Amino acid sequence: MFVFLTTVVCELLIGHCCARMHSVAKQVDHGGSPAVALRVTDKEVVMDNGILQVTFLKPQGFVTAIKFGGLENLLEIRNEETNRGYWDIVWGEPASGNSSIEADGCGPTLCQYKESWLVVGTGFKIIKEDENHAEISFMTTWSSVIQNSSSNNHGLPLNVDRRFIMLRGCSGFYSYGIFERKKGWPAIDIAQIRAVYKLQRDKFHYMALSDKIQRVMPMPEDRETGEPLAYKEAVLLTHPINPTLKGEVDDKYQYSCEDKDNKVHGWISFNAQVGFWVITPSNEFRSAGPLKQDLTSHVGPTTLAMFHSNHYAGKDLAMSFQQGEPWKKVFGPFLVHLNSVPPHEDPLKLWRQAEEKMIVETKSWPYHFPASEDFPKSNQRGSVEGRLLVHDRFLNENPKPGSFAWVGLAAPGKAGSWQRETKGYQFWVQADKSGSFVIEGIREGSYSLYAFLRGFVGDYKYQSNIIILPGSSINLGNLVYEPPRNGPTLWEIGIPDRSAAEFFIPDPRPNLTNRLYLHDEQNKHRQYGLWDRYTDIYPRHDLVYTIGVNNYRRDWFFAQVPRRTRNMTYEMTTWQIVFLLEAVRKGRNYTLQIALAAAAQAELQIRFNGHKLNAKPDFTTGCIGRDNAIARHGIHGLYWLFSIDVPGSWLVSGSNRIFLTQSRGSYPFNGVMYDYIRFEGPPRQDF
Ligand SMILES: *[C@@H]1O[C@H](CO)[C@@H](O)[C@H](O)[C@H]1NC(C)=O
Ligand SMILES: *[C@@H]1O[C@H](CO)[C@@H](O)[C@H](O)[C@H]1NC(C)=O
Ligand SMILES: *[C@@H]1O[C@H](CO)[C@@H](O)[C@H](O)[C@H]1NC(C)=O
Ligand SMILES: *[C@@H]1O[C@H](CO)[C@@H](O)[C@H](O)[C@H]1NC(C)=O
Ligand SMILES: *[C@@H]1O[C@H](CO)[C@@H](O)[C@H](O)[C@H]1NC(C)=O
C-alpha cells in the first residue's frame, strides 16, 4: 500500500510537516514509515529515516554518503570525502588601488578572487531530535585571531551555520545556511555561494532540468579526451565513451536557466532506476531577482544549488562588504529529493515525479519546520497586494492592465536596482491578466516595490518604501506605471522584453552542435559559437537594417559582436538603421530609446547621418557590462535603457541613417545584445 512512499510528498504523510496541510495531515498516520534516527560517532553523523541514510563528516559537515534505493552511495565514491557533497564560497579581499582595473577601461574585473573556499565546519550540534524530525548544525566560525593551518579557516570573515533536516517519511533531506558577519569585521567581496553534489559517474548518465531540456550526458572523461574550444568550459567531444555523442559540444552554461525557473533539476540512473534532484522551492534568498541566470546540473555528474553568483552579470553583482559592515542572511532551505521506480517502469517517470514534488514543495513555502529563528515562519511574515496598470499616453488614452507584469519587493533603491541587489531577500510574483498581484510570505523589513513587464521599456518603482512587519497585510490598490516615452513611435525594432530572443539567431556550425537544441527554436540560442556566425553572414560589410523593408526576426542579428579577421583578430562593427522622415522639425527633439539585453566590455557609440568614425559620437554608453552572456549562451544579461535626445538638427527630411558602433572589438565575446529600439517623434505640444 505504501510502495509509492519514495516518490510521494512527505507533507501528505506526516502531520507536523506542512503548515498548509496541517488539519488534513493530522489524521494521516506515518504509513508505517520508521522513526528518524541520528547516530553520532567520533568522526561521523548518520541521519536515517528508513527511506534514505545520509552520512556526514563531523564536525566538517561534508556529506560523504547517501544510501537510497538499493545503492550504498549515490555520491561519487571515487572522490575524496570532501569532494562529494559540500558548500563553497568564492571570495576575495576588495581590490585596492588600480590593481583590478583592466586596460580596457571597463572598470574592475573579478581577477582578485581566490579559488573557491570550502566551507568546513568546526563545531557540530544537534538542534532537534525526535522520531519525526532531526536537525543538525555544522558551524564554521571566523576568528580575527590568526588561525593555525589545521583549522582550515583561511581568513574568510564569515560565520556559516549549515543545517541539515530529515523528516519522517520524506524521501530526501533539507539544508540551509545561516551566513553572518558581525560588526567590525574586515571588508570582503563574495562572488559565489553554492552547494554541490557529485554523483556516481557509473550510475547517473541522464540529466533533466525541464520537460524539453533533458538528455543523456557525456562522461567527465570525455571532456579530458575532447578538444577545448574558445574557452575551457566548452569542449568538442572527439572520443566520448558513449560513441553516439561524438562531435557534440559540451558546456555547462548550455544548461543555465533564469532563477525564476531554477526550481528542480538533477539526474536519473537508468540501471538503478533512481533519481537525484535539487529542489529549490523559493527564489527569495537568491541574488538579483527573477531574471538572474545561473547554472543547474552539468557533466560530472554534478548538481548545484546556486545561492549567489555573478554569472550573466559580472562584477556588478559582487556582494561587497565594507570594513565593519554587519550582515546576516539565510540561504535555503532547499531539498535534495530522491525517487525510484520499479525495474519494469519507465525511468523518465522520475523526472515527472520530481516536478510534481517541486510543485508541492513550492506550495509549502515558507516551510514551518526549520528550527532556526532566523528563518521566519509564515505567521511571522507579511503580504502585499495591488493591481498594476500601465499608462503609455502615446498608445492609450487610459491606463491598461499591467498583464503578467513581474512585481517584486527588494531592498530600497532606484527603479530597476533589484537586478544588481545581492545582500537582501527578494519576493517576486507574476501578476495575472488584469495586473493584479499578491505577494505573500515576505520577511520583516523595509523594501521598495518594483515592477516591469513585457511590451514596455523601463522599470516601475512605487514611490514610498514598503515596511513589512509580522502579519502585515498591505493593499496598495491601483498602481500606475508610466514607462519612459517622449513622443509618438516613428518606428521600432524588436519587443521590449529584456531579451534578444525575438531577433535572428543563426544555426550553429554543423560540426559544433549540441543535438538537444537542434530542433528547438526556443532554445536555439544555447548553441555554442553563435557569435562567430556573424562574420560568416557579414564577412565584409556590416548589418544594414531598413525600416519598412527589413524584418527584425530575420534581419537583426541577435548580438552585435566584433568581426573575425583573416588573421584571427577581431575588429569593431558598425550597424546602420536606415529610415525615412517626411518633414523634420528642426527646432524640436526626437528621442531614441535603446534598451540593451546584455553588454560585455562593450561601448555603443551612436552617430546620426554625417558618419565619421573618428569624429566624436553623438552619444556613447561608455564602456559597459561584464555579463558575458554572449559567450555563456544566455539570451540576455543585465538590462540597460538609454533614452537619447536627438535634436531635429541632426536629422534630414528624406533618408536618415543611424550608425551603431560597438567600438570595443578585441575579443570575440565583446558586444551587446539589443532588447528593443524605438525612435520617437517630438512630444506633442498639447501634453
Ligand atoms: C591609478 O589610476 C589613476 C587614473 O587612471 C592614475 O592616475 C594613477 O597613476 C594610477 N595609480 C597607479 C599606482 O597605477
Ligand atoms: C589549531 O587549531 C585547531 C582548531 O582551532 C585546534 O584544535 C588545534 O589545537 C590548533 N593546533 C595548534 C598546534 O595550535
Ligand atoms: C568545423 O568546420 C569548419 C568548416 O566549416 C572548420 O573550419 C572548423 O575547423 C571545424 N571545427 C572543428 C572544431 O572541427
Ligand atoms: C589583421 O587584419 C586586419 C584587417 O583584416 C588588420 O587591420 C590588422 O592589422 C591585422 N593584424 C595583424 C596583427 O596582422
Ligand atoms: C533637446 O535636448 C537637449 C539635450 O538633452 C536639451 O539640452 C534641449 O533643451 C532640448 N531641446 C528642446 C527643444 O527640448
CB-based pocket (< 6 A), ligand 1:
97-98
Reference 284, options 86, 401, 443; nearest CA is 443
Q: Which amino acid is at 345?
A: E
Task: Give the pLDDT mean for 56-79.
Answer: 97
Q: How far is CA 64 from the centre of its chain?
A: 28
* pLDDT the model gives residue 270: 97
At 595, list the grid cell.
Answer: 534598451
State in Å: Cα 567 to ligand 4 middle.
6
Q: Cell match 537583426: residue?
A: 556
CA distances from 521 to 189, 556, 675 (A): 39, 16, 18
321 closest CA partner among 174, 190, 475, 232:
190
279 and 353 together in one domain: yes
> Which amino acid is located at 374 in the chain?
D
Question: At residue 3, what are phi and psi to the nearest 5 degrees?
Answer: -65, -20
Check whether 174 has a pLDDT greater than 60. yes
Q: Residue 233 C-alpha to ligand 3 middle, in angstroms? A: 18
- Residue 368 forms part of a structural domain: no
Q: How far apart are CA 359 and CA 225, in angstroms?
A: 40
Residue 273 three-state SS: coil
pLDDT at 431 over 60: yes
Ligand positioned closest to the Cα atom of 102? 1
Q: Provide the 10 A C-beta neighbour count for residue 643.
A: 16
Residue 569 Cβ inside 6 Å of ligand 4? The answer reads: yes
**Residue 613's pLDDT band (boundaries 50, 70, 90)?**
confident
- Res. 627: pLDDT tops 90: yes
Q: Which ligand is nearest to the CA of 123?
A: 2
If asked whether residues 432 and 577 sit together in one domain, one would say no
Number of domains in the chain: 3
* Helix or strand holding residue 124 (H, E): strand 123-130
Please identify, among 363, 388, 418, the residue that sits at the C-terminal boundary of a domain: 363
Listed residues 449, 481, 513: the one ending a domain: 481
Q: What pTM was estimated for this model as a whole?
A: 0.91
Q: What is the pLDDT of residue 584?
A: 94
Helix ranges restricted to H, 140-282: 220-225
> What letter represents residue 99's amino acid?
S
Query: Do residues 607 and 617 lie in contact, with contact meaning Cβ atoms separated by under 8 Å?
Result: yes
Residues 163 and 215 in one domain: yes
Atom number of ligand 3 nearest to Cα 229:
13
CA 436 to CA 447: how far, in whole Å? 19
115, 55 contact by CB (below 8 A): no
Is 521 found in the same domain as 432? no
Residues 117 and 153 both lie in one domain = yes
Show Cβ contacts of residue 535 under 8 Å, excluding neighbours closer than 6 positions: 563, 564
pLDDT at residue 12 greater than cutoff 50: no
Does ligand 5 lie within 6 Å of residue 645's CB atom? yes
d(CA 569, CA 566): 7
Please report whether residue 102 resides in a domain: no
Q: Which residue has the cell 583561511?
A: 154
Amino acid identity, residue 684?
Answer: R
C-alpha cell at 40: 553520532
- Domain span at residue 292? 2-96+107-363
Residue 686 lies in a domain: no
> Does residue 511 have its Cβ closer than 6 Å to ligand 3?
yes
H or E stretch including 136?
strand 133-140
> Which residue's C-alpha cell is 575532447?
226
Q: Terminal CA-to-CA distance of the chain, rounded, Å?
A: 71
Atom of ligand 2 nearest to the CA of 147: 2
**Quick one: which of 612, 605, 618 has its CA closest to 651?**
618
Whether 318 and 410 map to the same domain: the answer is: no
How far apart are the CA of 107 and the centre of ligand 4, in A? Answer: 27
| Closest alpha carbon to 2 in 38, 22, 26, 30 | 30
Q: Compute, in angstroms, the gap from residue 321 CA to the centroid of ligand 2.
A: 29
What's the burial of 278, exposed, middle or buried (CB within 10 Å: 0-12/13-18/19+)? Answer: buried
Instruction: Say how many Å lie between the CA of residue 586 and the centre of ligand 5.
Output: 12
Ligand (nearest to CA of 666): 4
Cα 89 to averaged position of ligand 2 atoms, centre (Å): 23
Q: What is the pLDDT of residue 611?
A: 73
Show the cell assigned to 385.
497586494
* Co-location of 389 and 526 in the same domain: no
Measure the CA–CA gap between 256 and 311, rounded to whole angstroms: 10
pLDDT, one tens digit per residue, over 186-198 is 888 899 999 999 9
CA-based torsion, 540, 545, 549, 554: positive or negative: positive
Report whether pLDDT(151) > 90: no
Question: Does the CB atom of residue 649 touch ligand 5 within 6 A?
Answer: no
Residues 457 and 499 in one domain: no
Provide the CATH number for the domain around residue 137: 2.70.98.10
Q: How much distance in Å is there from the Cα of 577 to the middle of ligand 5? A: 23
* Pocket of ligand 5 contains residue 588 by CB under 6 Å: yes
Q: Please report, for residues 4, 139, 392, 393, the alpha-carbon distance to residue 397 in angstroms, rounded to integers and kept in the order given.
A: 57, 59, 8, 6
Distance from residue 151's CA to the centre of ligand 2 (Å): 6
The DSSP element (H or E) to which 536 belongs, if any, is helix 533-537
316 φ/ψ angles, rounded to the nearest 5 degrees:
-55, -20
Whether the predicted pLDDT of 392 surpasses 80: yes
- The residue whose CA is least distant from atom 12 of ligand 3 is 511
Lowest pLDDT segment from 26-40, 235-249, 380-394, 571-585? 26-40
pLDDT at 318: 83
Quote the percentage of the chain above a pLDDT of 90. Answer: 85
Q: Which atom of ligand 1 is nearest to the CA of 98?
A: 1
Mean pLDDT of the chain: 91
Q: What are the grid coordinates assigned to 10, written together?
A: 512527505
Residue 310, all three cell numbers: 555573478
Residue 403 resides in a domain:
yes
> Would the pLDDT of 487 be above 90?
yes
Q: Closest Cα partner for 608 from 641, 574, 585, 639?
A: 574
Convert the pLDDT of each residue in 244-290 to its tens digit. Answer: 999 999 999 999 999 999 999 999 999 999 999 999 999 999 999 99
Say yes or no: CB of residue 567 within 6 Å of ligand 4: yes
Identify the residue whose cell numbers are 583592466.
102
Q: Check which CATH number belongs to the domain holding 616 and give it.
A: 2.60.120.260
Q: Which of 6-10, 280-284, 328-332, 552-556 has the lowest mean pLDDT?
A: 6-10
Taking the C-alpha atoms of residue 399 and residue 665, their distance in angstroms, rounded to an integer, is 43
Place of cell 513555502: 365
Determine, yes or no, domain membership for 65. yes
Cβ neighbours for 398, distance < 8 A, ≥ 6 positions apart: 391
Cis peptide before 301 (omega within 30 of 0): yes
Is the CB of 236 inside a 6 Å radius of any atom of ligand 3?
Answer: yes
Distance CA 581, CA 324 (A): 58
Does a structural domain hold residue 370? no
Claim to verify: residue 675 and residue 592 sit in the same structural domain: yes
Of 667 and 168, the one with more pLDDT: 168
Same domain membership, residue 472 and residue 568 = no
Q: 463 and 516 share a domain?
A: no
User: Which one of 645, 646, 649, 685 would you pick to mutate in the ligand 5 pocket, going by the greatest count of ligand atoms within 8 A of its CB?
Assistant: 645
CATH number at residue 448: 2.60.40.1120
- Is 149's pLDDT higher than 60? no
Find the largest Cα–Cα distance for the chain.
85
Has residue 614 been placed in a domain? yes
Query: Is ligand 4 within 6 A of the CB of residue 566?
Result: yes
Judge contact between 633 and 669, C-beta under 8 A.
Answer: no
Dist CA 596 CA 497 (whole Å): 10
How many angstroms is it from 648 CA to the middle of ligand 5? Answer: 10
Q: What is the pLDDT of residues 177-188, one digit of tens each?
A: 999 999 999 888
| Same domain? 464 vs 556 | no
Q: Which of 98, 104, 623 to mutate to test the pocket of ligand 1 (most atoms within 8 A of CB)?
A: 98
* Phi-psi category of residue 166: left, alpha or beta, with phi > 0 → left and psi -120 to 50 → alpha: beta
Which ligand ends up closest to the CA of 95? 1
Confidence of residue 314 (pLDDT cuts 50, 70, 90): confident
Would you say residue 687 lies in a domain? Answer: no
Q: 440, 455, 481 — which closes off a domain?
A: 481
